[in-house]
Amino acid sequence: MTRAVYLGSWRVDLTIRDGVRSPVAGAVLARVVAAAVSAAGAPSPASVGIILSDDAELAELNAAHLGKTGATDVLSFPLLPAGSFPVQPGAADRAADAALDFPLPPGRRLHLGDIVISVERAVEQAEAGRGGQTGDVRWSAADEVRLLAIHGALHICGWDHAEPTEETAMRKLENLLLQPDRWTGA
């Protein structure tokens, strides 16, 4: 099942694979992703794809695109260079990474990229107390899926956590975005 959710200048294309049950309503996931790309300074209007899947698909994608064996909880597939977004706090200068600058046909949105989440892995991590940013949080599967959606959206916008200063900044923004008032409009 695929559906588009429009939120201001954002369109979130949500796909739920057959047999996958999301612990989070599609509209909530769309709001979380829209809040994350907005906070990261993504160019708009734009679209983002989010695919809720299982370990088998994530293992295939992990092997094909990262050369790693086994499933992971979330993968991001950005379509724009990191220079298309404001520089993440704590990140090295990306001046050499040119921004994408070409006109789109009238009425077309720029597609920022796609996020693929293993709901199976998210549920397992949450229930086993291996969730959250530190891998030692026991919380609801819905909280874990929301975190993974935020994490994936920030990666699409050029954010990373390879260096300690980048990680600190990314975790801080993730924590801010996990607060319901950031994505419910309350």
In the block, which residue shows the tokens 């801080």? 172
In order of 18, 69, 186, the CA distances from 156 in angstroms are: 25, 22, 26
Give the 3-state secondary structure of residue 31: helix
Q: Mean pLDDT, consecutive 10-residue segments, the chain of 186 residues?
A: 92 97 95 95 94 96 93 94 82 52 67 97 91 83 95 94 90 91 66
- What range does the domain containing 167 cover? 2-81+109-184
Nearby residues of 22 by Cβ (< 8 Å), 6 or more positions away: 16, 29, 52, 119, 145
Q: Are strands 46-53 and 110-118 parallel, antiparallel or unpaired?
A: parallel
Phi-psi region of 158 (alpha: psi -120 to 50; beta: other; left: phi over 0): left
Whether residue 89 is contained in a domain is answered as: no
Whether residue 50 is contained in a domain is answered as: yes
Whether residue 97 is contained in a domain is answered as: no
| Nearest by Cα to 29 from 14, 39, 9, 47 | 14
The confidence score (pLDDT) of residue 103 equals 60
Whether residue 14 is contained in a domain is answered as: yes
The confidence score (pLDDT) of residue 96 equals 43
Give pTM, 2 decimals: 0.89
Token code pair at residue 102:
């070409």
Nearby residues of 106 by Cβ (< 8 Å), 6 or more positions away: none
Whether residue 102 is contained in a domain is answered as: no
Whether residue 103 is contained in a domain is answered as: no
CATH no. for residue 23? Answer: 3.40.390.30
Whether residue 151 is contained in a domain is answered as: yes
Query: Helix 26-39 vs helix 141-156: angle between axes, to the nearest 10 degrees?
Result: 40
| Nearest by Cα to 150 from 62, 70, 50 | 50
Whether residue 158 is contained in a domain is answered as: yes
Number of domains in the chain: 1
Give backbone dihedrals phi and psi of 35, rounded to 5 degrees, phi first: -65, -40
117 with 55: CB under 8 angstroms? no
DSSP 162: S
Token code pair at residue 50:
């989010």
